[in-house]
Amino acid sequence: MILIVDDTPENLISLKKVLEKHDFEVDTASSGEEALKKVLKNSYVLIILDVQMPGMDGFEVAEAISGYSKAKDTAIIFLSAANTEFRFIAKGYSSGGLDYITKPVDINILLLKVKTFYRIYDQNRKLNEMQKSLIEEIEFRKEAERKKDEFISIASHELKTPLTSVKGYVQLLERSAKKGDHVTVQKHLEKAQLQLEKLNNLIADLLDISKIESGKLKFNKQDFQIDTLIDNVIEIMHQSNPEFTIIKKGSAHCSIYGDEMRIEQVIVNFLTNAIKYSPGTDTIELQVSVKDDQLYIGVKDSGIGMLPEQLNHVFDKFYRVEETSQRFQGLGIGLYISAEIIRRHGGQIGVNSEYGKGSTFYFFMPINLQTDSSL
Ligand code: ADP
């Protein structure tokens, strides 16, 4: 929009008419004071400012405007009948104006100038937008780089822990084997195996991440019995966590079309987290139901829970709740992978949680949708 500032009403009206005829939006002010008020309220591309006005003159208005952040991109053209001497023109420029026109105004010249200022304004706006998005992109990349570095350091640590244990058990094994102590050998072997299993799972998760990134996470979908899968998972989880009771609530006597191992991976991930993030408790609930051709599976714990703002991020890659990340080991990728698996089965994943009270991680999925595995 253009603001014309002139104390002579005829000048205002005639200029306004001409500019409006050329499709410019025009506002007017009949004094410097009124112009300043309007500039505070509105954004103008250009101000056409009469130099000679009672009260504040055009130069004073321009000087005041140059201090307004709202008008930092606004151009000013001074209009003056009398003061055509060089010193006045110079004053006009130094007060923040970008051009100077003497009256009587050659309307064609003025229109050319107005169009040029609009073009410059538009180019500036585009440049500013580009600069803003470039800065955002740089910040985003910096943050991604930081997260990656942090992840590499956590991942190395997580991989080293079971590896160090395995090394220790192998040394103990060697000693016990030399002594012919078969009972102890068996004990150390089992422990080493458990650590190797941990290592294997960690590496499998890391590989899944890179497969998701490159779009190569493949699914082997076929019909399977969900109830049987759940019972098996509960049994396995109970063996490795005998201190926890997993109570199954409800059932689903139906077959599901999907990748059984991947769905098992999601349920195991929910249960492992439920156990990990619920110290001092001993019961987890696994809820199963089928409604309107949708399977629902929920894992409810009475653990540490989460705050609402943390819930929005739990399915993000590498996300770990900051306050508890030192207390519990993890890579922050299990739920990200789970979300991808459920998405690729045409389902929905979610969580309800209350800080200090516990969480329920759940997913819904269609029971017999033959989804395209290349989704
Ligand atoms: P990890 O457990 O390896 O850190 P996940 O992707 O499985 O990675 O989980 C991401 C984060 O979500 C965890 O670091 C934890 O902060 C939070 N979280 C997951 N499950 C629970 C739960 N049952 N209770 C409380 N917090 C949880």
Q: What is the CATH number of the domain that holds 319?
A: 3.30.565.10
Query: In terms of domains, do 279 and 321 share one?
Result: yes
Query: In terms of domains, do 228 and 354 share one?
Result: yes
Residue 209 CB coordination number (10 Å)? 19
- Is 320 inside a domain boundary? yes
Per the rule left: phi > 0, alpha: psi between -120 and 50, beta: everything else, 333 is alpha
- Is 137 inside a domain boundary? no
Q: Which of 85, 105, 125 is the last residue of a domain?
A: 105
Report d(CA 124, CA 215) in Å as an integer.
Answer: 40
Query: In terms of domains, do 266 and 351 share one?
Result: yes
Question: What is the count of structural domains for the chain?
Answer: 3
Report d(CA 368, CA 86) in Å as an integer.
Answer: 85
Provide mean pLDDT across the span 217-240.
93
Spatial neighbors of 337 by CB under 8 A, at least 6 apart, are 205, 208, 209, 212, 265, 269
Quick: pLDDT tens for 238-276. 988 999 999 999 999 889 999 999 999 999 999 999 999
Contact 314 CB / ligand 1 (< 6 Å):
yes
Report d(CA 234, CA 284) in Å as an integer.
Answer: 10
Q: What is the predicted pLDDT for the residue at 101?
A: 84
Q: What is the predicted pLDDT for the residue at 374?
A: 43
Query: In terms of domains, do 65 and 191 share one?
Result: no
Token output for 257: 């079309």
Residue 356 in 3-state DSSP? coil
pTM: 0.67
Query: In terms of domains, do 232 and 361 share one?
Result: yes
Domain of residue 62, residue span: 2-105
CB 271 within 8 A of CB 284: yes
Which amino acid is located at 375 in the chain?
L
- Is 275 inside a domain boundary? yes
Residue nearest to atom 19 of ligand 1 (CA): 273
Contact 202 CB / ligand 1 (< 6 Å):
no
Least confident of 131-140, 194-203, 301-310: 194-203
Query: In terms of domains, do 205 and 329 share one?
Result: no
Question: Ligand 1 pocket check: which of 273, 300, 324 to mutate, most ligand atoms within 8 Å of Cβ?
Answer: 273
Per-residue exposure over 20-39, b if at least 16 CB sit within 10 Å of its own CB, e if not = eeeebebbbbbbbebbbebb
Q: Which of 213, 240, 259 is the last residue of a domain?
A: 213
Query: In terms of domains, do 246 and 343 share one?
Result: yes
CB 61 within 8 A of CB 90: no
Helices 182-213, 107-179: crossing angle, 10 deg rounding: 160
Contact 299 CB / ligand 1 (< 6 Å):
no
Domain CATH number, residue 152: 1.10.287.130
- Is 99 inside a domain boundary? yes
Query: In terms of domains, do 23 and 95 share one?
Result: yes
Q: Which of 196, 213, 230 is the last residue of a domain?
A: 213
Displacement of CA 101 from its chain's centroid (Å):
50
Contact 298 CB / ligand 1 (< 6 Å):
no
